[in-house]
Chains A and B, each alone.
Chain A
Amino acid sequence: MSPIGAMLYREAKIRATNLIFIFWDVINPLAYMLVFGVGVNAAMGSPFASGEVDYNAFFLASVLAMASFGIASNTSWSFFLDRDNGIFFEMLTYPLSRSAYMLGKVIFTVLVSVVQTALTLILAATLFRIRLQPALIPLVFLAMIVGTAGWFFFYSIFALRTRRNDIFNTVTSILYFVFLFASSLFYPLEPLPKWFQTAALVNPITWQIDLMRYATIGIGSARTVVIESIAFLVFGLASFIYAARCLQKQE
């Protein structure tokens, strides 16, 4: 088995044999869609806000982004755990390079997000009767792949630089709160105060959500989406470069 294959084998074993990961990777985002989405949809009525769509359709891209963000966060938590208990350092003496280690982690994370995307889209189309745009579905998958990889690299920086478990947990909880709430994830930005809009517009998860909202239900302008996609690519690339540097420095 190749080193990357062995990494995928290990990650798959860890994920498949621990219910906690299955819950956070798969069930949690779907539960948001099924419970929170349905609840808000019923409360708001339809159509919702400026998009002339119901809340379930509006929230679909959010669920995907939340899944992408959550899966990356979970992998980085297991990454931190690896470092905290020393197996990470022992693994660096296995016959694999540091880049193979990182690549194995990111490929596995992306694969989970692809499965989650397929599940979410099927559920959205069948249960909520959301009218998806078939021609743009590959773009949804692409946004999930790039998005999940970007978030994984971003979180890896904290997994590699934080020494203490309590600090890591606090940092990731704050990030989760800030990124998800100061964004277009739960609500459209137009009715929000100016300072909130500004914060949301510089939030990479807004960039990812806007692209996916455009690709799933056609809301948003193509020009804005292109600019935001480029911005997200830059964010992902910068995170990757810094994470790779942190990884090389691990001794």
Chain B
Amino acid sequence: MGSYALEVHDLVKTYQSRTGIVRAVNGMSFNVATGSIFGLLGPNGAGKTTLLRMLTTLTQPTSGTARLLGFDVVKRPLEVRRRIASVIQETAVDLLLSVRDNLLTFARFHTLDGVTARERADEVMERFQITGEADRKVQDLSGGYRRRVQVAKTFMVRTPVLFLDEFSTGMDPILKRSVMTQLREEARAGRTIVLTTQILSEAEELCDDILIINKGRQVARGDLNALKLLSQGVYEVSITFDHMPEGIEAELATLPTLRTHKENSTLEVALKAPEGEVFQAVAALARDRRVLRLEVNGASLEDIFIELTQNEVPA
């Protein structure tokens, strides 16, 4: 076992569909460093969940290998499962059990004794602000609370690797922030976290290492700065006018925009062009108009993501 918690080599998963063979994951290779937060990003149907299901032993790969802490996910699935906790995409909770019993039952599967499990359950419920619901059946709770219970379970155990598939779905912003802080603490303590998300700001804030995938293939890989280098020449421009100018759409149509967004009197545009041209464009947009605020930034992860997945730039 090296310094990698996860070693994936040429992993492939194919499905037989009505129209033929679908390659959901098409030859992915990557390593995940121990104690890092690794983000898997991709549009719907990119293969993120299929990849995660293979890594968590839920689905067998068609070919290729994946090793978790040195254990092959196909040949030694039980050894792998002893070392992971996972949150799958569905809100998977025991509906007929109370919040507390959900946590205690999960702990039993991970061989925690009764006293430790109860102590830890109290602590975890406090952290996830669900102590007040401890004795309520999960089926009586809202979707957001169910998701809390599901994520809270993974904090009951100290498995070295944690898999989270769209973990923040249904969480309110305050709880999401709190969970993100806890995840960073877990990673600092040496736990490896592999997550998928479509909320790019979440990945931008949380992940040490990002893999962007599309149509089952890896499109780009690296930390945020490395990914930004891949997308040089993309600028985000935000202009707040005293009021939104009429006919601005026609002007925008002549610019090399990746995306535009208008809200009240603020215009946000992502432009792909050399720096000089971007400033010329900004000057043209501002000409003869009253500008209250103007901001030009480098590309955000969202811009990089859109550019890479739309253009399918190979890694």
Flag if B109 contacts A96 (CB, 8 Å): yes
User: Which residues 84-132 of B sit at the A interface, judged by CB distance below 8 A?
Assistant: 84, 86-98, 101, 105-106, 108-111
Set B58, B81, B96, B163: member contacting A95, Cβ < 8 A: B81
Residue of A nearest to B84 (CB): A93
Residue of B nearest to A96 (CB): B109
Residue of B nearest to A251 (CB): B59
Other than the given A10-B105, A90-B90, A92-B58, 19 more pairs (CB < 8 A) read A6-B108, A10-B94, A13-B101, A17-B98, A78-B96, A85-B92, A86-B91, A87-B92, A89-B58, A89-B88, A89-B92, A90-B87, A92-B57, A93-B81, A93-B86, A94-B81, A95-B78, A95-B82, A251-B58
Residue of A nearest to B95 (CB): A85
User: Closest approach, in angstroms, between the C-beta of B120 and any C-beta of chain A?
Assistant: 15
Residue of B nearest to A18 (CB): B96
Set B53, B77, B96: member contacting A14, Cβ < 8 A: B96
Flag if B92 contacts A86 (CB, 8 Å): yes
Contact with A along B64-83 (1 / 0, CB 8 A): 00000000000001100110
Chain A interface residue number, banded = 20 to 34
The 3 closest A-B pairs by CB, nearest first: A86-B90, A86-B92, A90-B92
Set B89, B109, B137, B163: member contacting A94, Cβ < 8 A: B109
Inter-chain CA distance A18–B140, complex, in Å, is 13
Residue of B nearest to A15 (CB): B96
Flag if A9 contacts B90 (CB, 8 Å): no
Known interface pairs A97-B78, A251-B53; A81-B92 also in contact (CB < 8 Å): no
Please, how many residues of chain B have a CB less than 8 angstroms from a CB on the other chain? 34
User: Which residues 206-243 of A sit at the B interface, judged by CB distance below 8 A?
Assistant: none
Inter-chain CA distance A154–B177, complex, in Å, is 47
Flag if B86 contacts A87 (CB, 8 Å): no
| B309 contacts chain A at the CB level, 8 A cutoff | no
Inter-chain CA distance A1–B112, complex, in Å, is 8
User: Which residues 45-65 of B sit at the A interface, judged by CB distance below 8 A?
Assistant: 53, 56-60
User: Closest approach, in angstroms, between the C-beta of A11 and any C-beta of chain B?
Assistant: 10
Known interface pairs A90-B88, A96-B81, A251-B53; A17-B96 also in contact (CB < 8 Å): yes
Inter-chain CA distance A149–B115, complex, in Å, is 34
Inter-chain CA distance A148–B273, complex, in Å, is 71
Flag if A90 contacts B96 (CB, 8 Å): no
User: Closest approach, in angstroms, between the C-beta of B269 and any C-beta of chain A?
Assistant: 40
Inter-chain CA distance A9–B114, complex, in Å, is 12
| A188 contacts chain B at the CB level, 8 A cutoff | no
Flag if B101 contacts A93 (CB, 8 Å): no
Q: Which residues of chain B have C-beta atoms less than 8 A from A13's C-beta?
A: 97, 101, 105
Q: Which residues of chain A have C-beta atoms less than 8 A from B96's C-beta?
A: 14, 17-18, 78, 81
Inter-chain CA distance A3–B93, complex, in Å, is 18
